[in-house]
């Protein structure tokens, strides 16, 4: 599980991530640390991804919208929330198999601090890959006040213990 492993007597290396065997249906992982979204994060991501909607980077335009201020690009929040889950959910993944049911349930604004949590929905050994399994999670993006702004489901192909890249490399 998430923690460390002994690499020599009295010497430990950080070992984030869960192998297939470490997942239990119904468990919920609270992902930390959180992340405060800045105006720079939002503007750079929006322009880098060629999203030309001024609601994300033009304060005067956004002031006249129903929100009264710029919105954080939802693909930025999806990326950050997914990234927050890696150490707990997909550090030992072979592949993401897909995201489904992505719901944007509330706006996120510059200056909001966000967190994430994931619930294990299902797990099963892979039918075609005997050293791997498929894990499905539901992840929720939460603001600092606990209100949800996003949720989605994700399926991940995860290595079984002893069969991950970290088990084969000096990682």
Over residues 89-95, the mean pLDDT reads 94
Alpha-carbon distance values, 166 to 16, 95, 101, 136 (Å): 10, 15, 31, 22
Distance of CA 66 to the CA centre of its chain: 29
SS (H, E, C) the chain: CCEEEEEECCEEEEECCCCHHHCCCCCEEEEEEEEECCHHHHHHHHHHCCCCCHHHCCHHHHHCCCCCCCECCHHHHHHHHHHHHHHHHHCCEEEEEEEEEEEECCCCECCCEEEEEEEEEEEEECCCCCCEEEEEEEEEEEECCCCEEEEEEEEEEEECCCCCHHHHCCC
pLDDT at 5 exceeding the cut of 70: no
For the chain, give the mean pLDDT. Answer: 92
pLDDT of residue 170: 67
pLDDT at 1 exceeding the cut of 60: no
Domain residue extents for the chain: 3-168
Protein fold of 3-168: Thiol Ester Dehydrase; Chain A (3.10.129)
pLDDT of residue 16: 78
Give tens-digit pLDDT for 97-136: 999 999 999 999 999 999 999 999 999 999 999 999 999 9
Quickly state the pLDDT bin for 4 (edges 50, 70, 90): low
pLDDT of residue 131: 95
pLDDT at 21 exceeding the cut of 50: yes
pLDDT at 171 exceeding the cut of 70: no
- For residues 168 and 123, which has the higher predicted lDDT (pLDDT)? 123
């Amino acid at each position: 599980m998430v923690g460390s492993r002994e690499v020599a007597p009295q010497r430990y290396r950080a070992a984030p991530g869960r192998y297939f065997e470490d997942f239990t249906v119904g468990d919920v992982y609270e992902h930390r640390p959180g992340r405060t979204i800045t105006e720079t994060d939002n503007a750079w991501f929006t322009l880098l991804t060629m999203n030309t909607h001024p609601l994300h980077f033009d304060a005067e335009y956004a002031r006249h919208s129903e929100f009264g201020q710029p919105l954080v690009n939802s693909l930025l929040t999806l990326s950050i929330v997914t990234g927050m889950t890696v150490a707990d959910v997909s550090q030992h993944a072979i592949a993401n198999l897909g995201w489904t049911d992505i719901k944007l349930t509330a706006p996120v604004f510059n200056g909001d601090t966000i967190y994430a949590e994931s619930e294990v929905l299902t797990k099963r050994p892979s039918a075609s890959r005997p050293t791997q399994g498929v894990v499905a999670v539901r992840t929720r993006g939460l603001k600092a006040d606990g209100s949800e702004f996003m949720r989605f489901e994700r399926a991940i192909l995860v290595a079984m213990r002893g069969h991950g890249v970290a088990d084969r490399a000096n990682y």
